[in-house]
Amino acid sequence: MNCPVCSSPLHRILYEGFPVFRCMKCHGHLLAESRVEAAQRVRRETVEQLKQEVVDEARPDTQETIRCPRCHRKMTKRFVQEPAALNIDICPDCRLVWLDGGELARLQLSYEISPAGQDAAEHRRRIEAMTPEAKAEFERNLSKLKADDGSLGALLREALIGGGQHWS
- Domain locations in the chain? 10-113, 118-166
Tell me how far apart the alpha carbons of residues 77 and 140 are, in angstroms, rounded to a whole number: 44
Q: How confident is the model at residue 167 (pLDDT cuts 50, 70, 90)?
A: very low
Q: How confident is the model at residue 89 (pLDDT cuts 50, 70, 90)?
A: very high
Average pLDDT, integer, range 14-30: 91
Strand 76-80 versus strand 86-90 pairing type = antiparallel
Q: What is the mean pLDDT of the chain?
A: 81
Going through 1-157 in order, the beta strands assigned E by DSSP cover 10-15, 18-23, 29-32, 76-80, 86-90, 96-99
On the question of pLDDT at 19 being above 60, the answer is: yes
Residue 26's pLDDT is 92
pLDDT tens-digit map of 144-155: 775 555 556 555
pTM recorded for the entire structure:
0.68
